[in-house]
Structures are given as C-alpha cells and as structure tokens.
Amino acid sequence: MAYRPTSDRILFITATLLTVFGLVMVYSASSTIAASKYGASSHFFVRQLAFAVAGYVMMIALMRTDYRVWERRQKALWWLLAVCLGMLVLVFTQPTVNGAHRWFRYGPLSFQPSEIAKLAILIFLASYLRKHESEINDLRRILLPCLALVGLFACVIAIEPDLGQAVCVLAITVLLLFIAGLSWVYIAGAALLSIPAFYFGVVCVPYRWERVRVFLNPFHDPLGAGWNVSQSLTAVGNGGILGLGLGDSRQKMFFLPEAHSDFIFAVISEELGLLGAGFVLVLFLIFFYRGLKITFRAPDRFGFYLGMGITLLVVLQALVNISMALSLMPAKGIALPFVSQGGSSLLLNLTATGILLNIAQYGEDRGQRTIQP
Amino acid sequence: MSENTSKSHPARIVTVILVVAFWLAAIASRLVQLQVFQHEEFRRISTQRQQVTRPMPAPRGIIYDCRMNELARNVPSSTAIAEPCRIRDVDAAAGNLARILGLDPTELRTRMADPRKKAYLVLKRRIDPEAEDRIAELKLDGVYLEEGSMRVYPDRELACHALGFVNMNGDGGAGLELQYDKELKGIDGLASHDVDANRRSFRGQVLKPPVQGHSIVLSLDRDIQYIAERELAAVMDEYRAAAATAIVMETDTGRILALANQPAFNCNTYNSAEANLWRNRAVSDMFEPGSTFKVVVATYALEEHLTRPDELIDCQMGSIRIGGHTFHDVHPYGLLTFIQVLEKSSNIGATKLGMRLGQERLHGALVKFGFGAKTGVDLPAEIVGLVRNWESWSALSIGAISFGQEVGVTSMQMITAINVIANGGYRVWPHLVDRVIDSGGNLVRIPEPVKTRIVSPETAAAVSSAFEGVVLRGTAKSAGLEGYRAAGKTGTAQKIVNGQYSSEKYLSSFIGYAPLPNPRVTILVQVDEPKGAIYGGKVAAPVFQRIAQQALVHLRVPPDRTLPMPKPDLLRLASDSKDFIPGATPIPPITEAATDSGTGSDQGAIVVRVAEQSLVMPDFLGMSKRRVIDGCLALGIRLQSTGSGIAVQQLPAAGAMISAGETCRVTFARGSVARLQQVTISAGSQMAQSAPGVSRPASHP
C-alpha cells in the first residue's frame, strides 16, 4: 500500500464545482423569497456560504486524517453513534418548523442532526461489515443486531417526522448489505415485509397517499395537491434547451415552493435549460465514477464499504431529488447534495467527500502510472 | 479487480452500477422529453400562468372653465383586490382588512365567502394612502392593490348639474361627463405583466400606451357660476322654495356662463345623494311658462306687422270671452299701448294679439322661437317640451297659449326665446363647451355656433324697450341695476297639481338681460314653489339683480356713463372677497372621506386671490369734469386731470381693473375737438373692453 500524498483531484474539483454552482443557484432561487420573507435577498446565500466554508475546513481536515482511525478506535465510533442518537432525541425539544422537529437552532444558524447520523451509520456499517462480512447471513447473531441499530435510528428520524431521511438511512443500509452478499432469501423477505409497511405507512396516511396519486397524475389538481409537482414540471419544461438565463426563473416567483432547497433542480433546469441540468447530471456521474474508482482501489474492506457507502449516499440522493423534480418519483423531502440550500446537508456532504478523498490517498496503484509495453 | 474487491460479489456491484446507470439514463431522457419535445406546451402553460395582459386605463380628459380652472380632474387612487381562494385564513384576513378599510367584518366575511368572487373580489375602491401602506404591511397572499385613478371635482357641488359625474365603471353618468364621454374617455392602453404566484407584477411591458382623453374647455365661468349658486341658495332660504334654477347666457353667442340648480349635490359623492337630485331641471323639467310667454306672441304679431308699438289695444276692463270661456286679467285695464300690454302683462292684450295671428301662424311662431323642440344644448336628457299641433287645438287654446298655458317648455327654451329680443332678433344655440383640446393643449375642435335671425332688429328693439319699461316702471323694479341699464320680463305661473291649477304652488321667474343697449348677459331665474311671496317681480327679479350686478363687474363691463355712478362696493369683484367659493379645495382630495366633508376650509391652503380689492374702471368719456371728480372720490381712486371740458381720454381704459388708491389720468377737451376725439377714442376703448376669449360682433343693430 503506497502512501499517496496527492488525492483524487478530479473528485475534489467535481465536489467544488457542485458546491460553487450550488451557491450561485441558491442565491438565484432564493433571493426573491428571502427578500420577501426576511427583507434581505442574500439571507439564504450567506448562510449557505458559511456552511460551505465550514464544510471545506472539515473536508480538508478529514482528507488529512487517516480514515482507518474510525476503524481502529471502535470506542470513538460508539461514542459518535451515541452522540448522534442523543441529538436525534434532543431535537424533539426544539420548536417545530413546518410541523417537524428536525433542526437545532442557534441564532442565525441551524443544524440537522439526521445528516450527521447518516454519516455515523455509514461508518458503523463499514466497520461492522468488515468484521462480519463472511457471516452476514447469520440472521440472529450478525444481521439482526445491525438492523436493530439502524432501525432504531431510522425510527427516531421517522418520528421527527422526516421520512425521507429515514428511508435514506434504510436504503443505504440495505444496499451495503446487498453488496456484502446478503442472501436473496432475506431480500425477498424484506420485500414481502415492505408491502404491509407501504400499506400502513403510505396508503393509510392521507398526505403521503396524496403524493403518490399526484405522482401518477401531476396535472390532475394543479392548484391543490399537484401544485408542487406541476410547477416543477412547468419550470423544467419552460427552460427548454438553453434556459431562460441565469436569474430569470419565473417559477421561483412563489410558484415553486422550496425553490431553493428541494426543487432547486427545477430552477436550474428553467434558468439554464437542458445544458445546465445536463451539467449537474454529468457532475454527479463523475462523482459516481471517481467514487467507485476510489472504492475499488481502497486498501481494505473498511475503506471499500465506507467509500461505497459515501458514493452511493451522495449519488442516490441526487438521483432521488432529481427524479422528484421531474416527477419520476413521488415528492419526498430529499435535498440535492452540494447544491440545495441546507447547511447541514452541505457540511456533511463535504465532510464525507473529505473521507472519500482520504481513502483515495491510500488507493492501490494498479499500473496506470507504469509505462505500458 | 484487486484482491480486496474480489472478496465481494462482483455481480451485485454490477447490478448496483447498472441500476444507477439506468436511472441516470431515465432522468436524461425525461429531461429531453420535457425540455425538448414538450417545451412548447410548457411554455404555453407557463405564459398562461405568469403573464397577464392588463388594460392601462387612459386618463380621462380634464374639464376646465373658461379661465382654465379645473372643474373636474383625476387623482391617483388604489383599489384593494382580494383573491379569497388564495387566502389561507379567510376569517382572520377579513378581520384585519375590515379594520384597515373601515368595513363591517361580518359583511366582508360573507363577501369573501362568495364562491363566484373566489378569484377576484373588489374589497374597496378609492382607498387612502395610509390604508395602502397598512395592507402592504399585512403581506397577505391573495390581497393586492390595483393602481387606478379617480375623478375629483375640487369645487364639489359647484356646477354639479352641468358637470355630472363619472360612475364606478369609469363612464360618464350625467351632465357633460356623459354628453362628452367619448371625447373625455381616451383609449385604454394594454400592458403585459410578468406576475408571480400572488399575481403581483414584477416586470411589465407596455404593449399599447394609453391615450389620454381630450379635455373640454367650457364657456362656464367658475366665478359667475358660484355667484349664481350663492344667490339661488339665498333665495331658496328666504322663500323656503322647493327648487330654483338660474342660467346665465352670453347674449350674442349663446355661450352659457353659469347653469345652476338648487338643491345641488356633491359630484364626488354623487352616490350618496338621491338620484332625484342629479336631474338637471334646466333642461329636463317642463313647466307652463305663464306670462313670460306673452312676449313670444306679442313679438311675432309685431314682426308680422299686425300691430305697432304705439297701437292702443282695448283690454276690455279685464275680461274676454273665447270659445265659451272667460279669461281675466289680474288688474282690469282699459286701453293700453302694445308696449304697455307687455309692461303690465295683460292676458287680454296678449290674447288679442294671439287671435290676430291665428292658430297656424301662432303655432309657427312657437316653432320658430324653438318651443316643442330641443334647443340642442350640449347636455344629456334634454326634453322637447309640449307644443301641440295647431290642428288639434281647442277653441280656447289660442287664448290660453297666448299667455303661456297649454304649453310645456324648459328653462333652456325660455331663455333662448327671450334672448332673441336681447340680441336684436337672433336665435342662438345655447352651449357649454367652447372647445375640445387634447392633452397637449392643441385644439381638437370648436363646436360650430348656430345663429338664426327670427325677427327683425326693429321688432326686437321695440319689444326690448317694453322690457326696459318692465324694469323701470313695471312689475320688476327690483331687477334694476346700479350703473347699468337692464331689461326683462317677469313670470308667475300656477303649477298644475293633479290636473288642476294650484292656488298655492307657483313658479316665479324672471328673464332679463343687461346692459342695454348692447347686452352682454341674458339671465333666467326661476324659483319653484316660493312661500310667502309668489310674484316673479318680488321673488325672482331681485335674484336677477344680484347675479347681473356681480356678473357684469366680473366680466369687466364698464358702468354706463349716462347713469349715476354706482356705489364703489358694487364695482368690486365678488371673487375678491376671502369667503368666495369657500368650498373650493385647491389640494386634490384623495379619499372618499375627504371629499365627503362639507366644509373645506380646514383642508389645505386657501385660494389666494388678488390681495387688493380691485374695481372696474368706469367709463368717464363724455362726462363733465365735475362728474368725473365725484366718481373718483366715490371709488377712492386718485384723479390726475389735464385740460377742461368733457372727458375725451382716460387711462386705464374703461373696464380695466384698478385698485383703490391708484391714480387714473383723464384728459378733458371742449367743443368739436372733444367730439372728434371722443368718437375715435371710444371706438378704441370699445375694443379694449371686450374680455379676452369673448367674441363680440363689431356692431349690433
């Protein structure tokens, strides 16, 4: 294992491009609503910028910290999990915002503990899978404890309520278990279990079922339940190939709710057209490619699972968010990584990228640098 | 694959990669579908939602009086609009809005719940700037302000029946606003707005700019109008009358200088007045003219050479029998000259003249004088009156009509008819609008004046001398003016109540003109149902006197030098006094509340008029030095005289304004020099005395 002081430049540049592009788009999408709500058009932008700076500090710090420290110091990992769970419980003491306890507020800043919990669980899973990779199908001794811990986190997050993050935690866990070789039997069992879960969790909860119906026919009730999705589709469609021009979105004039966070992709598509939307897709594709490359070169199984988890977490969130904006999936509150307004999400995505970049530094050189005959 | 990756399940990793790849491909194709193939469709949807075309209301033209005072103008005002379907908490919003707008909360809640008004509800028009700010502070989604403009009449009641009003839709509702609606209105423009989800415009583009309506300049004189209204109000009060009307017309042209009815209403708040008050009695009400009508019969008999001014007519001691019915005079008379018949207003004399004309010619006379047809005055709702065709007259009609019964006429018709005598035989077209101008002040059109000779100058002069006799010796001595010669005819008509001539309800009138020999104004005064006194000479003639006296000074008509010098305060401009037009509000009233208040003295600045009291310079030419000195002493002006004999030159010229204490220079001369100079100079001063904008024929028979 050769130590490589230089990291993956392309991944670093990709994350930076996404972050900078995100800052520009957050300003564009949020200035009107910020001016009307807070009296300052840069309200969201300034906060996002502060978190970006903090994120880069974290990213560079973790880039220079051997990722294996998480593996070596199991105690620290458990403490991290305990703190995360504590924060997730404590967040219930916070006043509700939009009917949910999701954020700690301190002055002008707010922090979402579920974001850091996602990363903590990834580290836990990577460490757990490295140890128990071969026994993964041992239901009682290995699988259930792992699922119980993850399930506990997911439950607490779901009660906030923040179903999007909870599903995210569960999905990334299932994916990593799948890659680790989870038996098809369990997968089939989980699929069967999810049917009643879907029924009681979605069909029986009117507002969620409404979202599914809207997804199936977004223009059925464009002024009511279908408002968000139809406005988003209108924004994307109206953008055309070249877009209306940066800053010229019309849908952000209060038509699109959450134009600067959940539906920022719609604003990008409207202002910069197919080219801008394609640019974002390509950046995430590069992120996916470089992330996998780092993962496959990781010097150990811990690095492999951690890299895989971070890469998939970022890319899948991006895909889900974009699919929502394009009405390929029912609307759910998932941010577009690096781009959407939301400080904790940006901070944690940059931190995770820092870990990924650190893994890259220990990557095995498989001859790309050697001269081919 | 390296050693560590080979431990895992390559097929599963490939599966995950394939899923992600497939997902990315799905997203890419969805983007192409939406942004390339369905782009047009979404652009249409978005334009529909985000762009609205809204009319840009054209500013309405201004109404000016003859001295370019604004009688009607526009001020900006907002309308509060709600889209109840977009308001989250309608109840709370209604409560807040009701408090700000001063509306009833319960009623507003009901209105906001109306399903038909879900997307557009006018909360309140003409809201004041403070309420505008407070509504903006509420930041309520679905409540916004629409900029607009509202019509304001700074003088409120002044000339309300002539001006009329503009209704809520922006259309003229009455008076000149209705008559000239097309010209005043202008052409609305069109603007395309980019709107946000709250329908607020954040970017606008003018597609078609609005074109301001034309303005109209009236012959109406705001000051004379005010004098007329003030005097009418006084007479209404004095005699507890039901209504009163006055018209001041320029004798030669038919230009109406004042048209007043009492009771009046405030044009700004026309809606809170009874609709009954909007009616312009001067053109929309019909009455039996009574003795004033004798003039028409007598004049036409004279014109047809059926009598002579000095002919003696036997008035049969007060009774005559026609068609089995006996008519009476108020006072029995024996032999009266033609002139005396008019002066004394003898029914019998008039009947006899009517009978000389015969039915057909009498009917023809009525038509010629303009009865039974609209005068064509530029006001809406004019009626034709009632003149039956002579073939359907009864045997006694000829008698009744001769002294003003069995016919229905309007005030406008009456003043136009009597004006024929005043101006030497012409029927003129009464009108209120002098010219139509565009927003840049350029002339658009001038209404074509109409002037038709009806009777010869000699006939008019003969009848006019009878009218002067009415004022000097007859029934209307109280109409006599100081410093001017006046002429006129009284009328006292019984009103018909339930088909019977009433013994209590009368219409007292006086129509006169001044100054002789070249009258400038013809004035009609009519008092409906006076109590305490009924005769035109008692009730209406003094009103004529007061209006004429002030109006002539106002028009800078120099006093007649052959008459005793009037008292100086009669030569002062009525408009110089501080309380003149007290209701005038020089600062535009913005809100309904402000226009409501009756006394405007506490609102804004007071119109600053000429500080010094100014007088009209009398015409001294031809006077002896003694009389000139007396006159100057009386007026309080200094005299600087040169020469001796009679006055042949004066500076300032007659009719000019002069303040007390100023100096006037008068040159005196004797004999033939004086006569020669006097002729040339008085011709010059004649020109100088015509007020600007008043066209006056050079000579008049």
CATH number at residue B210: 3.90.1310.10
Closest residue in A to B50 (Cα–Cα): A250
- Residue A50: phi and psi, rounded to 5, are -60, -45
Q: Give yes or no: residues B181 and B275 share one domain.
A: no
A9-13, B625-629, B659-663: range with lowest mean pLDDT:
B659-663
Contact A241 B39 (CB under 8 A): yes
What's chain B's Rg over C-alpha atoms?
A: 35
Contact B195 A269 (CB under 8 A): no
B13 CB neighbours in chain A (<8 A) are 179
Is B56 strand, coil or helix?
strand
The larger pLDDT score, comparing residue B336 to residue B603, is at B336
Measure the CA–CA gap between B247 and B231, rounded to whole angstroms: 12
Contact B39 A250 (CB under 8 A): no
For the cut 70, the answer to whether the pLDDT of residue A146 exceeds it is yes
Mean pLDDT within A159-179: 89
Contact A181 B8 (CB under 8 A): yes
For the cut 90, the answer to whether the pLDDT of residue B163 exceeds it is yes
| Nearest CB neighbour to A328, from listed B26, B35, B39 | B26
Type of residue numbered B469: G
| Nearest CB neighbour to B13, from listed A179, A254, A274 | A179
The larger pLDDT score, comparing residue B624 to residue B367, is at B367
pLDDT at B425: 92
Contact B2 A237 (CB under 8 A): no
Q: Give yes or no: residues B346 and B465 share one domain.
A: yes
B30 CB neighbours in chain A (<8 A) are 326, 328
pLDDT at B673: 58
Measure the CA–CA gap between B79 and B125, rounded to whole angstroms: 4
Domain for residue B42, yes or no?
no
B10 CB neighbours in chain A (<8 A) are none
For the cut 80, the answer to whether the pLDDT of residue B525 exceeds it is yes
Mean pLDDT within B508-525: 93
Q: Give yes or no: residues B502 and B415 share one domain.
A: yes
Tens digits of per-residue pLDDT, A14-38?
A: 999 999 999 999 999 998 888 877 8
A297 CB neighbours in chain B (<8 A) are 2
Structure tokens at B227: 């004098």
| Nearest CB neighbour to A254, from listed B13, B35, B198 | B198
B7, B8, B44: which to substitute to probe chain A, counting the most A Cβ within 10 Å?
Answer: B8
Q: Give yes or no: residues B344 and B484 share one domain.
A: yes
A354-368, B366-380, B472-486, B521-535: range with lowest mean pLDDT:
A354-368
Opening angle at CA B18, ends B14 and B20, nearest 5? 120
For residue A313, the Cα-to-chain-centroid distance in whole angstroms is 6
Structure tokens at A265: 């992709």
Contact A236 B50 (CB under 8 A): no
Domain at B467, CATH number: 3.40.710.10
pTM over 0.80: no
Q: Give yes or no: residues B606 and B567 share one domain.
A: no
Contact B24 A255 (CB under 8 A): no
Closest residue in B to A324 (Cα–Cα): B27
Domain for residue B163, yes or no?
yes
Is B550 strand, coil or helix?
helix
Measure the CA–CA gap between B230 and B157, rounded to whole angstroms: 11
pLDDT at B602: 36
Contact A319 B139 (CB under 8 A): no
The model's confidence at residue B133, banded by pLDDT at 50, 70 and 90, is confident
- Residue linked to tokens 């044009």: B267
Structure tokens at A28: 């564009």
Kindly provide the b/e burial profile for residues A153-183, where b requires at least 16 CB atoms within 10 angstroms of the residue's own CB: bbebbbebebbbbbbbbbbbbbbbbbbbebe
B76-80, B405-409, B558-562, B600-604: range with lowest mean pLDDT:
B600-604
pLDDT at A194: 83
A326 CB neighbours in chain B (<8 A) are 27, 30-31, 34
pLDDT at A357: 93
Q: Give yes or no: residues B193 and B274 share one domain.
A: no
Q: Which residues of B touch A (CB under 8 A)?
A: 1-2, 4-5, 7-9, 12-13, 16-17, 20, 23-24, 26-28, 30-32, 34-36, 38-39, 41-43, 45-46, 49-50, 139, 194-198, 202
Measure the CA–CA gap between B588 and B477, rounded to whole angstroms: 44
Contact B50 A319 (CB under 8 A): no
Measure the CA–CA gap between B605 and B578, rounded to whole angstroms: 12
For the cut 90, the answer to whether the pLDDT of residue B391 exceeds it is no
The number of domains in chain B is: 4
Structure tokens at A29: 């999408």
Mean pLDDT within A179-199: 86
Give percent of chain A with pLDDT exceeding 90: 49
> Which domain covers residue B686, as residue numbers?
601-690
Highest mean pLDDT among B117-121, B446-450, B566-570: B446-450
Cis before residue B263, ω within 30 degrees of 0?
yes
pLDDT at B549: 92
Structure tokens at B422: 């005043």
Domain for residue B43, yes or no?
no
Domain for residue B311, yes or no?
yes
Q: What is the largest CA-CA distance in chain A?
A: 66
Q: Shortest Cα distance from A54 to chain B (angstroms)?
A: 30
The larger pLDDT score, comparing residue B615 to residue A129, is at A129
pLDDT at A73: 87
pLDDT at B578: 65
Burial grade of B79 (CB within 10 A; 0-12, 13-18, 19 or more): middle
Mean pLDDT of chain B: 82
ipTM given for this complex:
0.91
Q: Give yes or no: residues B214 and B233 share one domain.
A: no
| Nearest CB neighbour to B31, from listed A250, A277, A315 | A277
pLDDT at B585: 43
A366 CB neighbours in chain B (<8 A) are 2
Q: Shortest Cα distance from B95 to chain A (angstroms)?
A: 23
Contact A292 B17 (CB under 8 A): yes
Tens digits of per-residue pLDDT, B345-367?
A: 888 888 889 989 988 999 999 99
For the cut 60, the answer to whether the pLDDT of residue B2 exceeds it is no
A203-212, B325-334, B366-375: range with lowest mean pLDDT:
A203-212
Domain for residue B662, yes or no?
yes
Tens digits of per-residue pLDDT, B251-310?
A: 999 999 999 998 999 888 888 888 888 999 999 988 888 888 888 899 999 999 998 888
Contact A250 B38 (CB under 8 A): no
Type of residue numbered A139: L
Q: Give yes or no: residues B655 and B546 share one domain.
A: no
Mean pLDDT within A308-331: 92
Contact A274 B32 (CB under 8 A): yes
Mean pLDDT within B155-184: 89
Contact B28 A299 (CB under 8 A): no
Measure the CA–CA gap between A129 and A136, rounded to whole angstroms: 8
For the cut 60, the answer to whether the pLDDT of residue B609 exceeds it is no
Domain for residue B590, yes or no?
no
Contact B522, B422 (CB under 8 A): yes
pLDDT at A317: 94
Tens digits of per-residue pLDDT, A256-294?
A: 888 888 899 999 999 999 999 999 999 999 999 999 999
Measure the CA–CA gap between B101 and B138, rounded to whole angstroms: 13
Kindly provide the b/e burial profile for residues A30-68, where b requires at least 16 CB atoms within 10 angstroms of the residue's own CB: bbbbbeeeeeeebbbbebbbebbebbbebbeebbeeebb
Closest residue in B to A175 (Cα–Cα): B16
Is A5 strand, coil or helix?
coil
B23 CB neighbours in chain A (<8 A) are 319, 323
Tens digits of per-residue pLDDT, B665-674?
A: 888 887 665 5
Q: Could you count the other beta carbons within 10 Å of the beta carbon of residue A255?
A: 24
Name every residue whose Cβ is closer than 8 Å to that of residue B192 and which is 6 or more positions away in sequence. Answer: B51, B52, B53, B204, B205, B207
For the cut 50, the answer to whether the pLDDT of residue B6 exceeds it is no
The model's confidence at residue A60, banded by pLDDT at 50, 70 and 90, is very high
B41 CB neighbours in chain A (<8 A) are 237
Highest mean pLDDT among A98-107, B6-15, B87-96: B87-96
pLDDT at B671: 67
Q: Give yes or no: residues B103 and B177 share one domain.
A: yes
The larger pLDDT score, comparing residue A1 to residue B67, is at B67
Q: Give yes or no: residues B665 and B533 share one domain.
A: no
pLDDT at B587: 37
Highest mean pLDDT among A197-206, B10-19, B129-138, B615-624: B10-19
Specify which residues B77 forms β-bridges with.
B148
Interface A–B counts its CB contacts (< 8 A) at 119
The model's confidence at residue B101, banded by pLDDT at 50, 70 and 90, is confident
For the cut 80, the answer to whether the pLDDT of residue A123 exceeds it is yes
pLDDT at A315: 96
pLDDT at A272: 95
- Residue linked to tokens 């016919």: B407
pLDDT at A10: 92
Mean pLDDT within A222-245: 84
Structure tokens at B272: 């809170």
What's chain A's Rg over C-alpha atoms?
A: 21
Mean pLDDT within B644-672: 79
In chain A, domain spans: 9-366
Q: Give yes or no: residues B212 and B255 share one domain.
A: no
Q: Give yes or no: residues B18 and B64 share one domain.
A: no
pLDDT at A371: 35
Measure the CA–CA gap between A219 and B445, rounded to whole angstroms: 57
Domain for residue B428, yes or no?
yes
B27 CB neighbours in chain A (<8 A) are 281, 319, 322-323, 326, 328
pLDDT at A367: 42
A57-71, B606-620, B651-665: range with lowest mean pLDDT:
B606-620
Domain for residue B92, yes or no?
yes
For the cut 50, the answer to whether the pLDDT of residue A368 exceeds it is no
DSSP conformational letter for A342: -
Highest mean pLDDT among B5-9, B588-592, B643-647: B643-647
For the cut 60, the answer to whether the pLDDT of residue B686 exceeds it is no
Structure tokens at B383: 């009626």
